[in-house]
Structure 1
Amino acid sequence: MTAPDPVLDLTVRARRVLTAEGMRPACVAVDGGRIVAIEPFDNAPAAASSIELADDEVLLPGLVDTHVHVNEPGRTEWEGFATATRAAAAGGVTTLLDMPLNSVPPTVDPDALQVKRAAAADQVHVDVGFWGGAVPANVGKLAPLHEAGVFGFKCFLLPSGVAEFPPLDPGGLTEALREVHALDSLLIVHAEDCGAVEQAPAAHGPAYADFLRSRPRRAENLAIDQVVDRARRSGARVHVLHLSSSDALPTIAAARVEGVALTVETCPHYLTFSAEEIPDGATRFKCCPPIREAANRESLWAGLADGTIDCVVSDHSPCTPELKRFDSGDFGLAWGGIASLQVGLPAVWTEARRRGHGLADVARWMCTRPAEIAGLTGKGRIAAGCDADLVAFAPDAEFVVDPTTLHHRHPVTPYAGRTLHGAVRGTWLRGVPVDGRAPHGRLLTREGA
């Protein structure tokens, strides 16, 4: 007697599936949390559960957001693992990497990493990994944190905004790059030059133009020059965070031609908003580096299109409403950070489609490349062997952002009232639906740790 064929855990069928080979009708077969096969649409294997997407939906890989400030422990009133990961899943993000600062203690040694992992345990709705920090006190001693499983090390080149995470001076940057290279790790850099910011007019009052002058393009350009020069000399892999100044794109492109191991990200807010449209006193738009002019925004889009910019991640950095200083609208006093984790995908898609880009481009920027840069080999693609992290996305759906419906801890976002295209209608983490009630995310460590 012939044994019956084994039954898979799940099949997901859609007329449009964005596979690693392109968009096509397909049936994604899932077993044990992984994609085991991609079959023709009409050839669905036997499975314990079967799903077919609506005709207006596309099956995308889960987003990988490598730049998220969760802030727990220590500043959980700003955000937290439960709220951040629930918002992430609602926005199609199935993996995020948490930044080492704004939490207390910052993630600058193995004990602090363990404190953060303990805080996150049993309350994450998506998979979560952690960056370590490179600060003056631990440069030269990064190896134990690397061995504990962080995905790389973040540093600042000017004050970070929180006293417990100080910046590296030029000598510290050189030493950190030397150490990161020896570990075959990655240094991720907030690239604004301290001297250039100190020389600029101080931010004060409600005028956005005054705030913009306080964080000039020159500060980014000089810092990126410095990072490229030291990366060239050290041979280390380096990643520039939240690129805002398009003036730096030629430097980045030239460094790549030279063979410098350099990658670059930008963020949805730099691709969506422009300085000209930000009202005075609207501190919900404050971030550092700042949102710049419309012409600068279009140059960033060109950098994405030609590959000079690798990826788009959120830099989700929320705070309590009081810290945004809505009482005075003073950009000098307000906390700088954009809350956008749940709306990043529709925000980028809305702007991308206007410029002739397709969903394959968006998935490359928001799924595949972030996973590749962080070394998350099983994430960011719909392909056999990858985790079954999947998103049902309706690209033609339209909605107006209502902050009260977002899962972030606080209903504060510059996207409030904005009409966006594209709705996330379902998210699966390793083949299991994420319902926002029962968390089943995992805490990730770097492969080989």
Structure 2
Amino acid sequence: MVHELVVTARRALLPEGWQAVEIGVDDGTITALAPYGTGLQGRQTRELREGQVLLPGLVDTHVHVNEPGRTEWEGFASATRAAAAGGVTTIVDMPLNSIPPTVDPEALEIKQAAAAASAHVDVGFWGGAVPGNGEQLRPLHERGVFGFKCFLEDSGVEEFPPLEPAEMEADMAILAELGSMMIVHAEDHDTLAQAPGAQGRRYEDFLRSRPREAENVAIRAVIDAARRTGARAHILHLSSADALPEIRQARAEGVKLTVETCPHYLVLAAEEIGDGATTHKCCPPIREASNQHALWEGLREGLIDCVVSDHSPSTAELKLLDVGDFGAAWGGISSLQLGLPLVWSEAKARGLELEQVVGWMSSAPADLAGLSDKGRLAEGMSADMVIFSPEQSWSVEVDSLWHRNKVSAYDGRDLVGVVETTLLRGEQIDFETPRGRLISRVGAKPAGA
């Protein structure tokens, strides 16, 4: 048999581990895996160089694209180019900060139309759970959203208000019937209301305004609601490592709970953030180095399932870089293009292996969303592949990033690991021709369902 494409690698990360293989690709799907040297025939061939490894395409289930309505903040064209440059072949878009937010089927259709013509990687969508839209959850589910996001604290945009814990639980009861999932920005409103204000340039003051206890209290509320309703729940962007023991206990009880964290919590620490450095503002906040170490231990133990970007860009003006006021600046960090080298650089320094990092950033988020053909190099899977040079050093230059707004907490940071080439269904992403597809939950089997 002559395949459409054959990729040959002396080191490829398969589900069984590192192997020397030849991979046959037809119609965008991996159709053959053979030992290196077999001599698979292909109309096109690609052989990795010395020092390069072949990885499955990464899956990022936490991306704010912001189109339509706030396309000047990012947009599908720039976001998916950034994703591809970072080895991410699939993103799932958050229901905010676009206008309209994805809280009903009409808004979903508007967002799908915006993405369809300009996506360089595959794009799926989360729905939103906001006060009063409980009747929209089933129609959105039937149209293929991967689950529903809610906030327990102000989201930062008025068109996506937070839920009270009781309404979150009521919505979760609906989602349990549907077999869907609630993904939660877990910070407790009442706890934050009692914390000091965040005005001014001192990062220490901002950190005090978003205490760990706000996360801990909210996570307890999510666990209790999941326990009572039987719904699947997912904790977004875990920042407080204090919550890990309760997460461990909930899972031991059989609560359907998964957890993510983000590169900025694993790489950056409060002690290194200077006053006025609003590039580093996000909610929940980047905490101390000791907390960061505990998050890494949570990953090692498996209490934290995956690492995703929470790519939350804005215009440079909204970050108030000239003023440096942490209370007034937009909270969000752009890292969609940088996630793999960021996490790999830190993991390598901690003695962890690349296969662990790829698991957290590829197969685990694919499983979270139920993307049964993504996240692994195996027969029958989508031929989404990344050619990566894990030992190559480089420095971040913010002006070279594909993100629409050239603002980054990582400008000038020295990293190891370079994404050389990204293939979507066997085709090299060229950053000119959009080849991404719209994907949906329909037909997918969620992990743990």
TM-score bin (small chain): over 0.9
- Of 138, 141, 146, which aligns to 1:146? 141
Deviations 1:298-353, CA, capped at 9 Å, x for gaps: 00000000100000000000000000001210000000000000000000000011
Counterpart of 2:125 in structure 1 is 130
Quote how far apart the aligned CAs of 1:234 are.
Answer: 0.5
The residue identity in structure 1 corresponding to 2:131 is P
Percent same amino acid at aligned positions? 61
Q: Secondary structure at the match of 1:290?
A: coil
- Of 9, 13, 20, which aligns to 1:25? 20
Counterpart of 1:424 in structure 2 is 419
1:222 and 2:213 aligned: no
Matches of 2:164 and 2:433, distance apart in 1: 44
Quote how far apart the aligned CAs of 1:447 are.
Answer: 2.5
- Of 313, 316, 336, which aligns to 1:318? 313
Matches of 1:171 and 1:405, distance apart in 2: 46
Counterpart of 2:115 in structure 1 is 120
Aligned residues, how many?
444
Q: Trace 1:410-449 onto structure 2 (pairs within 5 A).
A: 410-448=405-443
Quote how far apart the aligned CAs of 1:448 are.
Answer: 3.2
Quote how far apart the aligned CAs of 1:141 are.
Answer: 3.1
- The answer to whether the Cα contact below 8 Å between 2:105 and 2:136 also exists between their aligned partners in 1 is no
Matches of 1:447 and 1:395, distance apart in 2: 35
- Of 57, 82, 89, which aligns to 1:94? 89
Q: Secondary structure at the match of 2:388?
A: strand
Q: Secondary structure at the match of 2:80?
A: helix
Matches of 2:340 and 2:264, distance apart in 1: 11
Moved more, 133-142 or 87-96: 133-142
- Of 71, 77, 84, which aligns to 1:82? 77
- Of 358, 372, 375, which aligns to 1:377? 372
Is there any run of 5+ residues in structure 1 with no aligned partner, and where? Answer: 1-5
Matches of 1:102 and 1:239, distance apart in 2: 20
Q: Trace 1:231-310 onto structure 2 (pairs within 5 A).
A: 231-310=226-305
The residue identity in structure 2 corresponding to 1:101 is L
Matches of 1:91 and 1:310, distance apart in 2: 20
Quote how far apart the aligned CAs of 1:45 are.
Answer: 1.4
The residue identity in structure 1 corresponding to 2:19 is R
Matches of 1:208 and 1:252, distance apart in 2: 28
Matches of 2:177 and 2:19, distance apart in 1: 43
Q: Secondary structure at the match of 1:49?
A: strand
Deviations 1:146-185, CA, capped at 9 Å, x for gaps: 0011000000001100000001102111111101101000
The residue identity in structure 1 corresponding to 2:300 is A
- The answer to whether the Cα contact below 8 Å between 1:26 and 1:38 also exists between their aligned partners in 2 is yes
- The answer to whether the Cα contact below 8 Å between 1:140 and 1:179 also exists between their aligned partners in 2 is no
Counterpart of 1:3 in structure 2 is none
Matches of 2:363 and 2:116, distance apart in 1: 26
- Of 153, 168, 172, which aligns to 1:177? 172
Quote how far apart the aligned CAs of 1:442 are.
Answer: 0.2
Q: Trace 1:202-213 onto structure 2 (pairs within 5 A).
A: 202-213=197-208
- The answer to whether the Cα contact below 8 Å between 1:375 and 1:447 also exists between their aligned partners in 2 is no
Q: Secondary structure at the match of 1:346?
A: helix
1:359 and 2:347 aligned: no
Quote how far apart the aligned CAs of 1:44 are.
Answer: 2.9
Q: Secondary structure at the match of 2:134?
A: coil
Quote how far apart the aligned CAs of 1:28 are.
Answer: 1.2
- Of 45, 60, 67, which aligns to 1:65? 60
The residue identity in structure 1 corresponding to 2:20 is P
The residue identity in structure 1 corresponding to 2:290 is A
Q: Normalization by structure 2: what TM-score?
A: 0.98
Q: Trace 1:342-353 onto structure 2 (pairs within 5 A).
A: 342-353=337-348
Q: Secondary structure at the match of 1:365?
A: helix
- The answer to whether the Cα contact below 8 Å between 2:266 and 2:295 also exists between their aligned partners in 1 is yes
- The answer to whether the Cα contact below 8 Å between 1:14 and 1:55 also exists between their aligned partners in 2 is no
The residue identity in structure 2 corresponding to 1:73 is P
Matches of 1:128 and 1:303, distance apart in 2: 29
Note the aligned Cα RMSD (angstroms). Answer: 0.7
Matches of 2:363 and 2:357, distance apart in 1: 9
Q: Normalization by structure 1: what TM-score?
A: 0.98
Q: Which runs of 4+ in 1 moved over 3 A?
A: none
Quote how far apart the aligned CAs of 1:37 are.
Answer: 1.5
The residue identity in structure 2 corresponding to 1:66 is T
Q: Secondary structure at the match of 2:342?
A: helix
1:45 and 2:27 aligned: no
Q: Secondary structure at the match of 1:141?
A: helix
Deviations 1:167-219, CA, capped at 9 Å, x for gaps: 11021111111011010001100000000111101110000000000000000
Counterpart of 1:399 in structure 2 is 394
Is there any run of 5+ residues in structure 2 with no aligned partner, and where? Answer: 445-449
